[in-house]
Structure 1
Amino acid sequence: MIARQRLDRIVETVSRNGAATVPELAESFGISESTIRRDLDKLDSAGRLVKVHGGAVCLEDEHVRRELTIGERADLRTAEKARISRYAASLIGPDDLVYIDAGTTCRALVDHIGETRASYVTNSLDSAAALAVRGLSVVVLGGEVKPATAALVGPEAVETLSRYRFTLGFWGANGVSREYGLTTAERLEAQVKRLSIARTGRPFLLADHTKLGRVGPVVFDPLEAVTVLTDEVPPDWADVATVRAV
């Protein structure tokens, strides 16, 4: 097996299992642990997985614990994000005042929006720019910019939100849990998510199926606060009325 094939197989193994140790990978591929460590260094530098002490975890699992950068998340679950965001965009009507959260799934939503008569408010610099380029009506929250996600957070963002009552809104999350509800990686962003959801008539969370059952460090709302739109409902979530496959 050539080196490139081995690197691809390591990524597949880690993605399939969520994590793998250096000894496990060395035994599986019949090579030394030192070679595996060098491979993990390369894959971590390339943004294909996350090297941790003793092994590696997939980017999606690391997303639960910390806020991945936009670049790290851009190629994760792209087909699932497109499917979810396309459906979400179809829910927007001409008279809606729509809130759009930061995150790559919500950013994908912007590309599928066909309703040009609605008005939009967002805490995402990326989504705001994309909406403005298309000539749509968009308001950007004030506040501090989070470099990893280009999201606006803090007192200024909260103060701006207090002026609005949204008819419809869309959010992202790091994890969706039966026990803990909707979770993210950072408290300031959690505050903005919680307040914006509370001020929205029809709130929807956009999350691919891999986020169901995962728990991030910060809870921002109970599960019943939103309708979760996902690409696939796992069997153990089939009884949850607020989780819907699209």
Structure 2
Amino acid sequence: MKWCYNKRKRGDFMLPDERFRRILEIIRKKQSVTVQELVKQIGISESTVRRDLAALDKKGLLHKVHGGATSIDAGFGAEETVAKKSLKNVDEKRRIAQYCAEIIRPDDFIYLDAGTTTEMMIDFLTEKKASYVTNGIMHAKKLMDYGFRVYLIGGELRAVTEAVVGEEALESLRKYNFTKGFFGINGISKKSGFTTPDVNEALVKKTALSQCLDAYILADASKFGRISAVCVAGLDQAVIVTGKLKEPSFLKYTAIKEVSE
């Protein structure tokens, strides 16, 4: 006689509400979590974790992403400073920045959005005949120091991102027609598109993107599956340049360029 052993873990026998409570408690503390982390911490099987995450996502209590989940608050409200962002995912950002710098041509009129990855692009730029417009204070200074022709749009300076925003910035952008635009972003979601926490910065991104013949979103892996407070554009309105794409289903929504090692 063959005996069949059920591989369910002890936690699988917990009531669903108790499992949900534990999962949400962990995600509130960590902001994001993988399936395997939940398996270990709660003592439930992988299949149960995936079912529970799907149920909680449907209830709007978390965001289910490839291989795990993020807090519903991840990316909303407060934003990290440029100094903190510049220390994260540096190698991937550098590869993305180099690829984008290499596709600029002599006759290009470029919009360079404020952001840590777009700033890294400047280190790889070689095309001196192109012209550059930016709302990034540090971007403008760096471009000038490297000998590029640069235009800084006017407006209000937002300290946390060192970006120029406001109605004056929007009016300036509406006068331009860019051949290519390169943008930073906080969240990329199938449901909400490209998102960012601040409404004024979102308006600048949205306006600049609408003035571009070709638009590129520079995004490391941490941006996928995240949703911030304000929508900038739908996924089909820009090409995403990233490292190794972990969730191929995003390819159904827009063109994506993977820049692997």
TM-score band w.r.t. shorter chain:
0.7 to 0.9
Offset at 1:171? 0.2
Alignment counterpart, residue 156 of structure 2, candidates 134, 138, 144: 144
1:16-55 CA-to-partner distances (Å, cap 9, x unmatched) read 838x9xxx8xxxxxxxxxxxxxxxxxxxxxxxxxxxxxxx
What's the counterpart of residue 176 of structure 2?
Answer: 164
8 A Cα contact 2:196 2:228, kept in partner: yes
What's the counterpart of residue 125 of structure 1?
Answer: 137
1:99-156 CA-to-partner distances (Å, cap 9, x unmatched) read 0000101111111111111000000001000000011000000000000011000011
Percent identical among aligned pairs is: 35
Structure 2: give runs of 5+ residues left out of the alignment: 1-28, 42-69
1-side partners of 2:178 and 2:257: how far apart? 22
Q: Does 1:188 align with 2:200?
A: yes
Q: Map 1:23-34 onto structure 2 (within 5 A).
A: none
Offset at 1:235? 3.4
Residue 71 of structure 1 aligns to a residue whose secondary structure is helix
What's the counterpart of residue 244 of structure 1?
Answer: 257
What's the counterpart of residue 230 of structure 2?
Answer: 218
Residue 251 of structure 2 aligns to a residue whose secondary structure is coil
Residue 93 of structure 1 aligns to a residue whose secondary structure is coil
Structure 1: give runs of 5+ residues left out of the alignment: 1-12, 25-57
What's the counterpart of residue 120 of structure 2?
Answer: 108
What's the counterpart of residue 54 of structure 2?
Answer: none
Residue 164 of structure 1 aligns to a residue whose secondary structure is coil
What's the counterpart of residue 4 of structure 1?
Answer: none
The one-letter amino acid paired with 2:110 is V
Residue 203 of structure 1 aligns to a residue whose secondary structure is strand
1:165-215 CA-to-partner distances (Å, cap 9, x unmatched) read 000110011000111100001000000000100000010000011211111
Equivalenced residue count is 195
Alignment counterpart, residue 82 of structure 2, candidates 60, 70, 84: 70
2-side partners of 1:128 and 1:148: how far apart? 17
When the two chains are superposed, the root-mean-square deviation of aligned CA atoms in Å is: 2.2
What's the counterpart of residue 8 of structure 1?
Answer: none
Offset at 1:66? 2.6
Change (3 A) 1:15 1:158: closer
The alignment's TM-score, normalised by the length of structure 2, stands at 0.70
Change (3 A) 1:15 1:180: closer
Residue 85 of structure 1 aligns to a residue whose secondary structure is helix
Offset at 1:238? 5.5
Offset at 1:74? 1.4
Q: Map 1:35-50 onto structure 2 (within 5 A).
A: none
Change (3 A) 1:139 1:152: same
Q: Map 1:1-12 onto structure 2 (within 5 A).
A: none
Change (3 A) 1:15 1:219: closer
* Bigger radius of gyration among the two: 2
